């Protein structure tokens, strides 16, 4: 399976008419974030916790929402656009406000294939480890290893997940298609830095269907349009740094 974006902050939209098998659960999964790499760094207090909302087969985390096999993401780069404008720097062709809604399509066949070993550079797959469990926040957490192969070296950079399949949809595209909701995992940031997400509490109820809606005001863009914007933004930021 081609690696598109492994646990990044830019999370894309998925559109499909398929319906996933689901668990009837509605509630909030709360996480704490801790610096756990060999190079320690301070996580700002306002970013040291996050949460995942679950409404049957729907998931919402930050600016990304999943509905069955459909995932939608709002990507907000308006602060960058404003900052560049304040410094009299314009992008080469882009003239919008930097608020994007990006769509991407997945299928059940694609999701099913995520557990098939694929060791090609730039690809990834999940290995589900049978027999290894631990109790976490009242749920039985199962172990999975996300094998991620570097695009250049082909080296495997595994990420260990502890997850539960007792809540949420069959496949969780907010976390690369894992079969459940993560309760603990470590995200590698490079240069020895890493962040571990640990579930601290699962609160049942308190989530309605209207809570699964993303803010309006974001303009839909194709992958090509978004990639062109990112290229122009990078060039503009580098130009500002040279001044």
Summarize the confidence of residues 70-74 as an average pLDDT. 91
Per-residue model confidence (pLDDT) at position 8: 43
- Residue at 181 is within a domain: yes
The answer to whether residue 34 is domain-embedded is yes
Band (pLDDT 50/70/90 cuts) for residue 10 is very low
Is residue 223 a contact partner of residue 102, using CB atoms and an 8 Å limit?
A: yes
Q: Is residue 222 part of a domain?
A: no
pLDDT digits (tens, 9 = 90+) for 130-170: 999 999 999 999 999 999 999 999 999 999 999 999 999 99
Q: Residue holding tokens 């916790």? A: 49
Is pLDDT larger for residue 23 or for residue 31?
Answer: 31
Per-residue burial over 123-159, b = 16 or more CB atoms within 10 Å of its CB, e = otherwise: bbbbebeeeeeeebeebebbbbebbbbeeeeeeeeeb
Mean of pLDDT values over 106-127: 94
Q: What is the pTM of this model?
A: 0.83
How many structural domains are present in the chain? 1
Residue 21 reports pLDDT greater than 80:
no
In the predicted model, what is the mean pLDDT of the chain?
89
Q: Tell me 110's DSSP state.
A: H
Q: Which residues pair with 35 in a beta bridge?
A: 195
Residue whose tokens read 């082909």: 154
Q: 177 falls in which pLDDT band (50, 70, 90)?
A: very high
Position 14 scores a pLDDT of 30
Domain-embedded: residue 202: yes
* Structure tokens that stand for 224 in this block: 């090509």
CA distance 165 to 163: 7
Q: Print the domain residue range for 28.
A: 23-61+116-206
DSSP state of 87: T
pLDDT band at 239 (very low <50, low <70, confident <90, very high): confident
Is the residue at 145 inside a domain? yes
Residue 180: closest CA among 162, 155, 157, 160: 162
Q: What is the pLDDT of residue 16?
A: 35
The residue-averaged pLDDT of 198-226 equals 94
Residue 76 lies in a domain: no
The answer to whether residue 193 sits within a structural domain is: yes
pLDDT score at 242: 65
**Mean pLDDT across 8-21:** 40
Average pLDDT over residues 46-59: 94
> Within 10 A of 58 (CB to CB), how many other CB atoms are there?
21
Residues forming beta bridges with residue 149, ordered by sequence position: 156
Q: What are phi and psi of 116, to 5 degrees?
A: -90, 120
Across the range 70-90, mean pLDDT stands at 93
Residue 85 in domain: no
Could you give the percent of the chain with pLDDT greater than 90? Answer: 78
């Amino acid at each position: 399976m081609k690696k598109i974006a492994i646990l990044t902050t830019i999370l894309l939209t998925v559109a499909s008419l398929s319906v996933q098998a689901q668990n009837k659960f509605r509630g909030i999964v709360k996480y704490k974030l801790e610096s756990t790499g060999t190079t320690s760094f301070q996580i700002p207090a306002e970013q040291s916790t996050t949460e995942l909302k679950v409404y049957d087969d729907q998931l919402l985390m930050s600016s990304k929402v999943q509905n069955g096999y459909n995932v939608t993401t709002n990507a907000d780069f308006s602060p960058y656009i404003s900052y560049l404008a304040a410094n009299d720097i314009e992008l080469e062709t882009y003239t919008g406000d930097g608020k994007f809604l990006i769509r991407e399509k997945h299928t059940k066949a694609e999701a099913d294939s995520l557990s098939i070993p694929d060791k090609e550079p730039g690809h990834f797959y999940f290995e589900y480890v049978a027999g290894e469990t631990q109790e976490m926040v009242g749920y039985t957490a199962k172990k999975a290893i996300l094998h991620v192969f570097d695009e250049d070296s082909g080296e495997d950079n595994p990420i260990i997940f502890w997850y539960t399949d007792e809540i949420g949809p069959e496949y969780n595209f907010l976390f690369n298609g894992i079969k459940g909701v993560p309760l603990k995992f470590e995200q590698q940031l490079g240069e020895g830095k890493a962040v571990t997400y640990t579930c601290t509490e699962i609160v049942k109820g308190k989530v309605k269907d209207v809570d699964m809606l993303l803010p309006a005001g974001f303009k839909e863009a194709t992958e090509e349009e978004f990639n062109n914007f990112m290229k122009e933004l990078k060039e503009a930021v580098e130009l500002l740094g040279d001044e």
